[in-house]
Structure 1
């Protein structure tokens, strides 16, 4: 197993994924603590914590995986830093906006996939469902997708990783496991984001419900305390998981790299 197989938590939903020969960046946001980002309809939020590194600190990237086009997932600092020719995989709605801004973007409808091959290895990214808000409110928010990332070596699956994106919990997310089988790792977006009293990302209870529904071998919580709109601390999620006797949950410090070799398939 390659020693570089792992995930580095940079902050909020920004992570660096090294899967064999492939290197991915998720939801790039590199603005400093104190910076403001706009969320649409005049709403904004302020960043509480600095990211662990800047874009300039990153290794060479193969692609950016963008769950949706919100300011806390693709901020002004990221827009300035991400090269226009670096592939961005995102929703069809975000693709249209990014293309107009000069970026190289691919939009994946739900359940569609894109593949890359190199040195006998395969990386497959499949868009899976996500809902950013309750009921009709979801239509007022940017389209969001989860991502199923599969890494294969010489035709053998080594890792299946689910990035939830900013979705709320719903039982229909069980389709992901039913379609693709066991999930090795889940990067779960939490925070209990609230605007005007409405819950827009999973809080601790919903996050634990999704963890029990998906039953990944390893769950890594992210996106829970970087911005002022996040109202559900990580302790809520950890407590709910303990109450449900859910195992395999591990927290990440900013800048920390966790090897995924233990959950990858030999």
Structure 2
């Protein structure tokens, strides 16, 4: 597997012959986006690779479509060219295209393409904030991507979520090779101390439960709404179990990294 971090939540994964794009965001920096109920965020960093230079995409995984830090204007423009787009059930209704497949947690879809080994994508649970906020922030899912003939999850994408019992249950049930874990500890002034994505300490708790071979942090910088960020995760890792510290790979922006190669 080869992974290229493009910026924010946007990661290009090359798994066998499949090219998988996670949460495409390619707008330039400087714009402020509103998320509803008095919340907003400014994009502070642009993509390491421009949308025009990404190349052909087989699958786009959109953890949720309702927030521009996970699917922005330029990212939306890429969706029609992908063979498959997989997202939430509500998101599939909003995107309303023939190549879009909507899932709820636990549901899966098989993906086939000429000359490629089949894949199966299963939606995993996510909660984009504190308990009882789903009606406000909307649905979110993660993605467990398997080769159709294997039980091991080649790639797990957590999506934007906090740690909560259903997520930990999913982590216990999965045998994961590589996980892309969204961190950053999103907070907004209007909602005070409430967080809407994992902090560093929460990510360590999840990874301790999951025990993946490789863990790649994502979506921890490039936006003004991160309050924990890279520093929070690095601080939490200093006291994390050794196996968690060894699993984490900090992927530089725009540079493909082979997850089977030894960490530098």
| Pair in the same fold by TM > 0.5 | yes
Whether the 8 Å contact between 1:98 and 1:104 is mirrored in structure 2 is no
Q: CA deviation at 1:60?
A: 1.0
Deviates more, 1:83-92 or 1:120-129: 83-92
Does residue 107 of structure 1 match 2:106? no
Partner of 1:211: 207
Partner of 2:181: 188
C-alpha RMSD over aligned residues: 2.0
Query: Which of the residues 224, 231, 250 maps onto 2:227?
Result: 231
Alignment of structure 1 residues 149-228 onto 2, 5 Å: 149-151=145-147, 155-156=149-150, 160-180=154-174, 182-195=175-188, 196-197=191-192, 198-228=194-224
Partner of 2:94: 97
Alignment of structure 1 residues 119-130 onto 2, 5 Å: 119=115, 121-130=117-126
SS at match of 1:139: helix
Q: CA deviation at 1:175?
A: 2.5
Number of residue pairs aligned between Structure 1 and Structure 2 = 254
Partner of 1:55: 51
Give 5+ residue unaligned stretches, structure 2: none
Cα gap change, 1:184/1:89 in structure 2, threshold over 3 Å: closer, same or farther? same
Does residue 141 of structure 1 match 2:134? no
Cα gap change, 1:85/1:146 in structure 2, threshold over 3 Å: closer, same or farther? closer
Whether the 8 Å contact between 2:172 and 2:209 is mirrored in structure 1 is no
Distance 1:39 1:187 in 2: 24
Deviates more, 1:51-60 or 1:83-92: 83-92
Task: Normalising by structure 2, report the TM-score.
Answer: 0.89
Query: Which of the residues 21, 29, 41 maps onto 1:33?
Result: 29
SS at match of 2:247: coil
Does residue 117 of structure 1 match 2:112? yes
Deviations 1:94-151 (A, max 9, x none): 111111xx57321111111111234361211100000001111222112000110113
Segments of 4+ in structure 1 off by > 4 A?
156-159
Distance 1:136 1:159 in 2: 30
